[in-house]
Structure 1
Amino acid sequence: MPHHHHALVLNRDGAVLLIATTRTPGLTLPGGPAETDELPHHAARRHTETQTGLVLPLLRILATDHTDTHPQALHLVHWGGRLNPAQESTTARHRPPHTVTGVHWVHHTRLADAMHPDHHRRTAHALDALTRGTHLPLLLRGTPAE
């Protein structure tokens, strides 16, 4: 079963960082599948950096979502943090791969209109966990990942 790792990143105004790709209808959180034997936070970090230019630790998980798509997949939403102005400007200067057709900041009240319903539900639950201050620590063999 493939694992997909996504990053929930906010700007100073609380807007969510989303990407447009050639592969998925609507906007999505940055991220993608892990490679064989790739650690979860490394997969999330690699995809987020490639797609947005941001290098983030992504060591807390806000939501998990098991989907019944073919093949079945487990999606993990990692907390990327709230960006400072320098980090925000990185996303504006970054040149993503051709599969990423745009990088957008979307206010949480407009997410339902911008995202596919499955992606929106996952993102809404992650935002709710963030608001409540709940998350899962990312552990490797019982020790917090670094």
Structure 2
Amino acid sequence: MRNRRGDVLLVDPDYLDGMILPGGSAKPNEPPNLAASRHLHAETGLHLRLSDVLAVDFTPADRYLERLSLVFDGGTVRDGTHIAVPARQYSGLLGARFVPVRELPNAMAPAQAARVTEALAGRALPVLLHGQRPT
């Protein structure tokens, strides 16, 4: 999701260093677009229908199981759109804000920033392996 200036909406989880895109895991048999919409609503209060995928990123197992992340296009929100982040004790989030694209590398972990940068490139849907195009 972006604002009219092109800044990207990120959330700030208390359990990670750096900000991330809103989102999370799907429940068993939950379609990915509905899982993304559910997490977006839970983390920001925004109700959006998400259907277009901008990037797919495979992350190999490390301290977590391997995972496939889908970056959905949340479109552009109007100026003054209210973002309602639930209290930290319920959400684990310190807040949310729109971050200018040029500041993404400073606001996010490298693989997260690479994922967002690739998603914003506007090319054909890229397949990513831990934030990078496969060689």
Instruction: Check whether TM > 0.5.
Output: yes
Residues 95 and 122 of structure 1: CA distance in aligned 2, closer, same or farther (over 3 Å): closer
How many residues align structurally? 121
Aligned to 2:107: 114
| Equivalent residue number for residue 76 of structure 2 | 82
2:33 is matched with which residue: 41, 48, 61?
41
Cα RMSD for the two superposed structures: 1.5
Deviation at 1:12, TM superposition (A): 1.0
The question of whether the paired residues in 2 share the 8 Å contact of 1:51 and 1:97 is answered with no
Displacement of 1:31 in angstroms is 0.4
Distance between the aligned counterparts of 1:85 and 1:54, measured in 2?
14
Write 1 or 2 for the structure with the bigger share of helix: 1
By how many angstroms is 1:100 displaced? 1.0
Q: Quote the sequence identity (%).
A: 36
- 1:51 equivalent to 2:59? Answer no
3-state SS of paired residue (1:85): coil
- Return structure 1 stretches of 4+ with deviation > 6 angstroms: none
Q: 2:93 aligns with which of 85, 89, 100?
A: 100
Supply the distance in 2 between the matched residues of 1:54 and 1:41 (Cα, whole angstroms). Answer: 14
Please report the TM-score for the alignment, with normalisation by the length of structure 2: 0.84
Within the alignment, does 1:15 sit opposite 2:11 as a pair? no
- What runs of 5+ residues in structure 1 fail to find an aligned partner? 1-8, 137-146
Cα deviation for residue 85 of structure 1 reads 2.7
**Structure-1-length-normalised TM-score:** 0.78
1:73-120 deviations in whole A, cap 9, x for unaligned? 00000000000135x2x21xx142421111011100010010001111
Residue in 2 that maps onto 1:123: 116
